[in-house]
Amino acid sequence: MELVLFDLDGTLIHTDSDHAFGDFLIQEGWVDGAEFKTRNDAFYADYLAGKLDLPAYVTFSTSAWRKRPAVEALAVRERFMQQVMQPAITHKALELVRSHQQKGHLVAIVTATNEFVTIPIAQAFGIEHLIALQLVQQADGVYTGDIKGVPTFREGKIQRVEHWLNQLGRQRADFAAVHCYSDSINDLPLLEWATHPVATNPGQTLEAVAQQRAWPILRLFE
């Protein structure tokens, strides 16, 4: 068996789902548009530059919806899926996922975006295993804005993948090959951990690394 790990934002979808969800909540009137957009864009710029303060971003990005009644939050997430995410899922990206699944590979999405935003996106791709950033919930189910456990970010992605494999009774050495697809320099540790790294729609920094190391470069959105 082979293992296949997909980053999500910028890799399988031609947008950042967390950033896009923030923009959608502005359209829905859930937040102060000008102030929220300024901060949302600034955090996204930090992410692209590889200097994101992840705990601060998670607290900020979830503030727009986590104190709303669950039924309202789930309803706005469904509208977001239908209006923004479904159109962002391309045939080419779906074909790539299906090609691995049809070969019997173990496929997972590994993303730094939180589980609330990404669960329905993984379902839309038909990917059973989602390793996403987990959020702390109170006893009443309300999210606190804090990160639960190890975040799926940079080296944390490796820790979370290894923990997930252990839960399945497996380890990295069990696989004939480990494929990793990502667009982001933030995923360099996970790409190096894989036996078959693929720079997918890479940013400028990751593309330079891929060229230097003769990694394949895949462009899904051209």
- Say if CB 144 and CB 137 are below 8 A apart: yes
Count other Cβ atoms within 10 Å, centred on residue 6: 24
At 144, is the secondary structure helix, strand, or coil?
strand
Count other Cβ atoms within 10 Å, centred on residue 145: 16
Paired with 196 in beta bridges are 179
Q: Which residues are catalytic?
A: 7, 9
In angstroms, the CA 82 to CA 80 distance is 6
Q: Tokens 């038909």 identify what position?
A: 126
In angstroms, the CA 9 to CA 24 distance is 16
- Say if CB 57 and CB 43 are below 8 A apart: yes
